[in-house]
Structure 1
Amino acid sequence: MQQKPQIGIMGAGSIGCYLGAKLLSGNVPTRLIGRASLGQELTTQGLTVSLLDGSKLSIPPAKVDFETQPEHLADCDVVLLTVKSTDTESACLSLQPVLKQGTVVVSFQNGVRNAARISQLLPQAQVIAGMVPFNVVKTGVGSFHNGTSGSLIIGQSPYAARVVTPFHLAQLAIDIHPDIQGVLWGKLIFNLNNAINALAGVPLREELSDKRYRRIVAAAMREALRMMKAAQIKPLRLGKMIPWLAPSILSLPDFLFFKVAAGMVKIDPQARSSMWEDLEKRRRTEIDYLNGEIVRLGQAHNMPTPVNSTIVALLRQAEEAQQGSPGLSAEALWQQIQQKS
């Protein structure tokens, strides 16, 4: 008989499986909810996560507690919501009749609005906004790779200890921040590159090693910072990653950029954005919750957003084409942006 789960993961994709593997390796009773096809992989082949430092975590099939229906989270004290922002509402509607009063629900999702929406849809839950700074992609059957560095952050809450304690047992670095919305807006600045990387179709390190791509990322960030200033939104730094300095750092000559960036974040050669993975798997992306958020700010303040509007339009075209990444060169992408400016 399986042990009662302490933590449930709703939406066991790349991030959910990474967190699940870490928690299970720390002997924290954890149940994953996800697609039947993934469950078949994990319960027959096990769950393997390769880490940035070259090490691996391997969870044998017998230790993987995987289900496909949300009712199996009824006994959990904490539920981590790791579905795409596009699926927040449907996930919460399926959890409404399931979760007990006082269940802590942590949104480990991209975007800035998920926690507020979850609170509306799950009134019985204690909702905490969270931020995942690192990148995880699926690399094979039951296998995932963590390709960038960073510590998890959750918002300040009387219930934060229910999350932090088991995470520390599992050696998952996690911090509590008093202004999680500022943190999420800060992360959004850096997440604007997700779409650019997806359109380019190359690994993150290769993309950021090319000053021509960096020029586009910097332009998207500068535009976003202008919109946030107009909306009186203050994005906060993520450790050494400082949103308001990022465009200038990206604009440095290659030799200086490499030196400065190396001290900010670690990226291995395999790392790619989750949006690239979505295009490759013909799934709907989170473009509306990332670059689209900047476009909405511009519309609300009657300010043009040619860079992010172009990126949103190109991503939607790629979604509709259902052919994976379009593999746009930096020159082709920049030319399209210039036509809108």
Structure 2
Amino acid sequence: MTAKQLKFGILGAGSIGSYIGAHLIHAGIDTILVGREKLAQEIRGNGLRITNLTGTDFRLEPEQVQYATSEAALADRDIVLVTLKSLATEEAAHSLKKVLPPGKTVVSFQNGVRNAEVLRSILTEQDVLAGMVPYNVVWNPGAHFHCGTTGALAVEERGDISFAVVSGLQYAGLAAKAYANLPGILWGKLIFNLNNAINALADIPLREELSQPAYRKIIAAAMREALSVLQQSGIRPIASGRMLPGVAPLVLRLPNFLFFRVASNMIKIDPQARSSMWEDLQRGRKTEIDYINGEIVALAEKNGLAAPINGAITHLIKDAEKGAKPKMSAPELGKWLGLA
């Protein structure tokens, strides 16, 4: 079966899922998106528009997009990409188990490090692969999804199964690669994702946040603490592309003129990019904080270690989930975290 003959499904078609799914549809690959009624209505009225910082700009008309609100629509799919929030993984796995025949492929394109394990424990007759999404996508009004950072999708290496997934994504014009050590990739991505919460608390675009050395000092401190916890727990995060978790805290401490020169070789960020956690707070949704900074806190507790910085950030986000939308300056946040 060629890449174009594959039938893809996206479960959890919000920002990331719609961005990936739209590329597949645009390339002529049979793809069904499954998500919330709110987005279904936007698509019915506007179609789907996709843009990114490298100049991609295309629109799908409403009749081009197969969008459903029930997992039942995925029953005939060869490959299902799960792009749901981590909190919904277990429930989604049980729903997929009812509709997916044995032998189908399921890929977790979610934040965090444990989602593929959860899916695999329930979808025992399907082939479950771990995956990683490196970029940020912002959901603008009118079903317009804008990707403001660069990077390649990562898929767990599993012979012909992962080859089919990667081939389909590449056919759709998405950079994608299979990796033998996907757990290491996921831990490496989690190190960079520690900034999701800080960006949400700052309530400013990522590039604006990263242009301020005081915010970068906070990000570096959270990363150093996490890297120490991982090292003492026997876990080695590895790089995906040019994103090097081990040197990130050092790069973040550089003065502006050097930081942007070095960082631009690792990742491109445009002025619109914000973190997914910021978007969750703005939309009044529960965040993935327990699966990112909270994952570091839990690992530290499991091994008799301490992670006070990531613990305090987790606490601040949980407070924000209760309704207060934060806008913390770097000095204010640094003081709260004991870094002033």
The verdict on a shared fold, with TM-score over 0.5 as the criterion, is yes
Give CA-to-partner distance per residue, 1:160-186, whole Å, 9 cap, x none. 122122212211110000100000000
Aligned to 2:292: 290
1:162-181 to 2 correspondence within 5 Å? Answer: 162-181=164-183
Aligned to 1:199: 201
Contact in 1 for aligned 2:32/2:66 (Cα 8 Å): yes
Aligned to 2:210: 208
The letter for the 2-side match of 1:53 is T
CA distance in 2, matches of 1:5, 1:216: 44
Q: CA deviation at 1:37?
A: 1.6
CA distance in 2, matches of 1:218, 1:313: 19
CA distance in 1, matches of 2:235, 2:58: 39
SS of alignment partner, residue 73 of structure 2: helix
> Do structure 1's residue 145 and structure 2's residue 146 form an aligned pair?
yes
> Do structure 1's residue 305 and structure 2's residue 307 form an aligned pair?
yes
Contact in 2 for aligned 1:99/1:124 (Cα 8 Å): no
SS of alignment partner, residue 190 of structure 1: helix
Give CA-to-partner distance per residue, 1:219-270, whole Å, 9 cap, x none. 0000000100111000001211111100000011111111111111100000
SS of alignment partner, residue 83 of structure 1: coil
Aligned to 2:334: 334
SS of alignment partner, residue 338 of structure 1: coil
Point out the more displaced range, 163-172 or 246-255.
163-172
Aligned to 1:90: 91
Aligned to 2:121: 120
The letter for the 1-side match of 2:212 is D
- After superposing on structure 2, the runs of 4+ consecutive aligned residues of structure 1 that deviate more than 3 Å are none
> Do structure 1's residue 132 and structure 2's residue 133 form an aligned pair?
yes
SS of alignment partner, residue 107 of structure 2: strand
Q: CA deviation at 1:304?
A: 1.5
Match for residue 231 of structure 2 among 198, 207, 229? 229
The letter for the 2-side match of 1:187 is K
Give CA-to-partner distance per residue, 1:275-313, whole Å, 9 cap, x none. 000000000000000000100111012211111001000
Point out the more displaced range, 162-171 or 71-80.
162-171
Percent of aligned pairs with the same amino acid: 49
Q: CA deviation at 1:9?
A: 0.4
Contact in 2 for aligned 1:50/1:57 (Cα 8 Å): yes
Which 5+ residue runs of structure 1 have no aligned equivalent? none
Contact in 1 for aligned 2:82/2:107 (Cα 8 Å): yes
CA distance in 2, matches of 1:226, 1:166: 38
SS of alignment partner, residue 270 of structure 1: coil
CA distance in 2, matches of 1:319, 1:34: 22
**What TM-score do you get using the length of structure 1 for normalisation?**
0.96
CA distance in 1, matches of 2:205, 2:61: 30
CA distance in 2, matches of 1:200, 1:139: 20
CA distance in 1, matches of 2:117, 2:240: 21
Q: CA deviation at 1:337?
A: 0.9
SS of alignment partner, residue 15 of structure 1: helix
Contact in 2 for aligned 1:137/1:272 (Cα 8 Å): yes
Give CA-to-partner distance per residue, 1:48-68, whole Å, 9 cap, x none. 011112331211111000111
Aligned to 1:73: 74
Which 5+ residue runs of structure 2 have no aligned equivalent? none
The letter for the 2-side match of 1:261 is A
Match for residue 273 of structure 1 among 272, 275, 279? 275
Point out the more displaced range, 330-339 or 21-30.
330-339
CA distance in 1, matches of 2:87, 2:263: 31
**What TM-score do you get using the length of structure 2 for normalisation?**
0.96
The letter for the 2-side match of 1:279 is L
Q: CA deviation at 1:75?
A: 0.2
Contact in 2 for aligned 1:131/1:152 (Cα 8 Å): yes
CA distance in 1, matches of 2:170, 2:306: 45
Contact in 1 for aligned 2:6/2:168 (Cα 8 Å): no
SS of alignment partner, residue 32 of structure 1: strand
CA distance in 2, matches of 1:37, 1:298: 39
Contact in 1 for aligned 2:163/2:178 (Cα 8 Å): no
Q: CA deviation at 1:5?
A: 7.5
> Do structure 1's residue 256 and structure 2's residue 258 form an aligned pair?
yes
Between Structure 1 and Structure 2, how many residues are aligned?
336
Aligned to 1:39: 40
